[in-house]
Chains A and B, each alone.
Chain A
């Protein structure tokens, strides 16, 4: 076992209240609203019609292009209609509404080769990831099949399995690592085979000692595999940061992990590959942490995609009168939703309800330099933001605006409560606009 730590970053209160609660299966609701845009890239094309009977796991949306993902029915039933529903980002987009028939236990035949795990070739594994609609479950939802297809001239030597889960409150990956340890290891083996890596690291933060121990026991005698214990700090789970912490290699600005011969996958993602390969079930549900001070029964649940937030919150005893803010994802990088009808999708790692939202007016910058200290990507946020405020976008770009991954450390630490991340986002938008006009 190795121990490593990220330099810089912040350490908010962990608030991992649900770390001890076992994963429970969430009862499938009577009606599911399955959005066609649950991933990064092009929206899937619907392949079912109104009135059609679908089986569980049947493909209902087809990937439209290379960077896109298939969408499957999370439960058997009848397609009621295709209508617009609000997504976590507030945009209304097409979703397939399924009237669930709970009695039908029929599961659709997988559209990928079902073989013993040891016989699966790298191509088979890529087909599984593509066909089963698997995307990165860490939050970015980038189609996994693309990540498993390194360019021909690149030799991947290291695979990192990301179990950092550095966002406060979230415990979905933690529970998954404890309860589905073998599945994760088998899934990681498949990914290792697909990308051709020799070395596998499993990075877990040390606030999950039980998970580290469990993996360490299972992997002690497996050569080439190593568990990395990481000192808890945010944003260690961000791809580029974890690569740097574990391997010491730095991904160039605008580059991908491929550029430093590394592949990286979240624990949830590798587990869903394992599940698709063994049980033939595509990505139709995920573990979601429901927590926050406005929920009386927090916990970790396996929730089918398309389940409206309202049902989840009702089941967990949310105090609807007192809720001020509901966040999809973690508190640092998640999105506040604008209505309770928003369905759970592939990117939903948590649903957090809070009684109080931060509401402090920003004050003037003190030039204290705290934001510079915490930035893991070597940006001086205060300087870049000053350029943006002055409309000097070229200078902001030269000062590293485009490095920013919007992790939120600078805004979290700022004693003047300046919304630095929003300024940086705004700066990126204005820069793109300016460059497009040229």
Chain B
């Protein structure tokens, strides 16, 4: 009994002594942190995706306090920007919600596969090995490097071997854009509803022979809406969605230019 009492007392005394040391040290060595940083960190989604341009949410919060714009978080969108605005006492400018778009329609049926691939099931590895036998050197390979990179489960490779984005879940963080070895994915404003779903820069003759739904650079769409679309590197490029005539979309011989519902 005595030994138990003695040990409790000793441990307690040591504990008390150190807590006193710590509390003194805490007072003496305190680092001033802006309380707002913590508040903003709490508001931010905590995905640490890096879409804002900072390594993580906490770093962005620090940057905001030091004067960075408050509307950089595309994951949180307008709601988060407003909350941060309240703390910082400034009005948030409009956050344009961006989503990832897979600019390729060449799935297993529509694109031509010249060979069979037995290697590592990863787009980056397949791309190094001659594109896994897919004749098109620009299109989606469908091994799902983007799917693995997406922290939200918004992008998935569908049954036809093509990556597909669920725009309701996509936060526009851009991790899939970085993961794609062929740069097929692009971040686009969600209200941009007309897209050229092809990235092939090959001349029409080649892209036509390698994929049924490739942009062949024929320029029909440009003729119908010269102010809305331009031709660049054998590829139609949208300049202004407002000025695109519906005929441009209907007339596309391969269906590479699409209007989303």
Contacts and interface: CB of A to CB of B under 8 A. Distances in A.
B130 A429 contact: no
Interface of A: 83-84, 89-92, 325, 335-336, 338-339, 357-361, 419, 422-423, 425-426, 429-430
B131 A359 contact: no
Contacts of B206: 84, 92
Contacts of B115: 325, 336, 338
Chain B binding site: helix, strand, loop or mixed by DSSP?
loop
B133 interface: yes
A114 B56 CA distance: 66
B202 A84 contact: yes
Contact of A423 (B125, B131, B202): B125
B157 interface: no
B233 to A, nearest CB: 12
Interface in B188-216: 202-203, 206
Interface stretch (B65-73, B80-88, B116-124, B168-176): B116-124
Interface in B92-132: 114-116, 118-120, 122, 124-125, 128-131
Interface in B129-166: 129-131, 133, 135, 137
B15 to A, nearest CB: 41
Given A84-B206, A419-B119, A338 B125 contact: no
> Size class of B's contact patch?
20 to 34
B114 A425 contact: no
B130 A338 contact: yes
A89 B133 CA distance: 11
Contact of B128 (A92, A358, A359, A425): A425
Contact of B129 (A339, A357, A422): A422
B114 A422 contact: no
Contacts of A83: 203
Nearest to A428: B128
Interface of B: 114-116, 118-120, 122, 124-125, 128-131, 133, 135, 137, 181, 202-203, 206
Contacts of A429: 124-125, 128, 181
Contacts of A325: 115
Given A90-B130, A422-B125, 6 more contacts: A90-B131, A336-B115, A336-B130, A338-B130, A358-B118, A419-B120
B114 A430 contact: no
Contacts of B119: 419, 422
A419 B206 CA distance: 31
B124 A430 contact: yes
B99 to A, nearest CB: 23
A336 B114 CA distance: 11
A429 B145 CA distance: 14
17 contacts: A84-B206, A90-B137, A92-B137, A92-B202, A335-B130, A336-B130, A338-B115, A338-B133, A339-B114, A339-B135, A359-B118, A422-B120, A422-B129, A426-B120, A429-B128, A429-B181, A430-B124
A426 B128 contact: yes
A425 B137 CA distance: 18
A422 B203 contact: no
Contacts of A84: 202-203, 206
A28 B138 CA distance: 33
B128 A422 contact: yes
